[in-house]
Structure 1
């Protein structure tokens, strides 16, 4: 893809895919002028945004290298992490849920997936999708090793996707040792981060947060990754996750609800 591509989606959102002038073979997806995703088609292992790198490392640490995983992505973007998992863990089963009608088709038209990638794509609301995946006949019922929550409408996550009900629906499809990864973009007061932490603590016994030191300390706006699940090993992996960078980094384990 040599030139930028543009499409007005049915919601009237304008999507752009623009070549990165500094990284050959890389694209930036923007919606209504706001950058949403960065993906390297030449090497999907190259993760550009710091929060995506942290989530990629968390997936790396969740199992032995190259071991296939079942990964559920809530929010598609440019399918950056789905491409990463397909390359680093061949044979992984992946499902991507995206509410923005037409977005995935637009992305795949200009940035196709590798033929070897086993990725299913669904258009719809993330909570509705979770409830359908929790049905007894679904092969995702308590089957996801990783659930990535990166769902935005504009610059914020819809309220029903940061609630306790939402994370209870996530838990219903999560394997007993599975990991939930949540991207939260927030202001220095971390109000949205705290609300999502409260919802996660009500559902999962293991919850931690990690991000740029200036964001975690409340000095700058930025993206925080919340890590949660039912397995205490999730918290044991936090020092290794922090050591992998990007730096400077800060992280905290969140005390469970008593």
Structure 2
């Protein structure tokens, strides 16, 4: 073997080690975006992803080592990588349908998440992981230098993993749609396989797998109801139109909807936000935490012209879609920032704070703790009101924990069962709310002024008088906030929060 040939072989082998390692970690990051519409983005989802990938990698290490001992040829490794590329291509083609069907069959449970990850990503991951032991076997011909060879190859593999992680996190997910990302990962894996082949036929097969990965997702029919789709670092967003309603869907959960004909809120719970105006007629400022379609802020500005409304929303794509598709009031300002960070940074006080971040199976725990609500209390004006939209019955485990945590911070707490909606509204303040008679009178006056079919007097009458046992519910803190398990308990005998 000439020096040139030996160098070329080494370069090929280095590429074969680097590319699959980068693909494997990128695949792990991207897998959450495929799973989110059916299973959310909770700690259970990430635990399932990490667990299945680790198990598959272990299988791949063992299987790759045994295969390398039995058939220590680079072309054999190429066929393994080609198999991984083909399986990834299959995931790109049918992954979304498979995830939705498994989600429906398992009720979006953690068991369903494990099953989905294992089916869609387990085989491809095991094949990718087999590269490292195979490369050690092909390179380490001298037993005395085997440790150094293994160290260098694992360092290169780890560097590939680092590149794949950073590329997926900061380039692929923020910039590309899911089908394109998966097609790129198939292409990179097929390139790794191509480096292993000297013969034309398997090389052409690698190219064919790549072409199919790019074409197959385009052959599937896109629903005419889907008007826009964005995959962001935080969620998968879809704008869908059906039966005269335009909805914003985040990871499979409807986060807001408007009527197409007049732009009014299609989800009745939004009208519950008017409780703040009924209780505090002279309110002049509102802060919304979690934008969605911005329907609550838009509605309150219609009911109280001149009300200053600012939203804190961590995902800039939500604001873009709200303005483009949901006629978000141009006077409403959107601060692109985490809600808690915004409150900590700003020393401004507010008359109304509307919290709508407790929807679905991916509730940000740091917005549900005693420390968060204490910060919220500090940012209220003397008679300011906090409204917390709970997309489930108040007796569900998560809702009870939120209620007990709010009670631990605020001296005045009321609960409203919003009419024609499964949602509840927790209203908290440092000052007492008016009695029912005053709220009803405010609602009657608002109805008279608007002359509309929507009865805000009925909203005023919706104060809940039932009993809630909070004795077994935890006070959520930054140190202990088992939000995911509380939500999971609630879905065992109830629909997913946020699904109308």
Shorter chain as normaliser: what TM range? 0.7 to 0.9
Q: Which structure's CA Rg is the greater one?
A: 2
Listed as ranges, the matches of 1:1-258 within 5 Å are 4-11=226-233, 13-22=235-244, 26-40=245-259, 43=262, 46-55=264-273, 57-64=274-281, 69-114=284-329, 117-134=330-347, 141-142=348-349, 144-152=350-358, 154-186=360-392, 189-211=395-417, 222-234=422-434, 236=436, 240=440, 244-245=457-458, 251-252=464-465
Any unmatched runs of 5+ in structure 1?
135-140, 216-221
> Helix, strand or coil: the match of 1:176?
strand
Deviations 1:143-182 (A, max 9, x none): x111001114743422211111111111111111111100
TM-score norm. by structure 2 comes to 0.41
- 1:252 deviation in Å? 3.5
Deviations 1:171-224 (A, max 9, x none): 111111111100112367421122112221122111011226999xxxxxx422
Contact map agreement 2:257 2:266 (CA 8 A) in 1: yes
Deviations 1:104-156 (A, max 9, x none): 11221233434xx421111221111111122xxxxxx22x1110011147434
Measured on the aligned residues, the alpha-carbon RMSD in Å equals 3.4
> Helix, strand or coil: the match of 1:251?
coil
Evaluate the alpha carbon distance shift between residue 235 and residue 17 of structure 1 in structure 2; reply closer, same or farther with a 3 A threshold: farther
> Helix, strand or coil: the match of 1:19?
strand
Contact map agreement 1:15 1:30 (CA 8 A) in 2: yes
* Residue of structure 1 in register with 2:34 after alignment: none
Contact map agreement 1:235 1:253 (CA 8 A) in 2: no
- 1:78 deviation in Å? 0.5
Contact map agreement 1:206 1:254 (CA 8 A) in 2: no
Any unmatched runs of 5+ in structure 2?
1-223, 444-454, 469-500
More helix by share: 2
More strand by share: 1
TM-score norm. by structure 1 comes to 0.76
CA distance in structure 1 between the partners assigned to 2:300 and 2:460 by the alignment: 23
> Helix, strand or coil: the match of 1:5?
strand
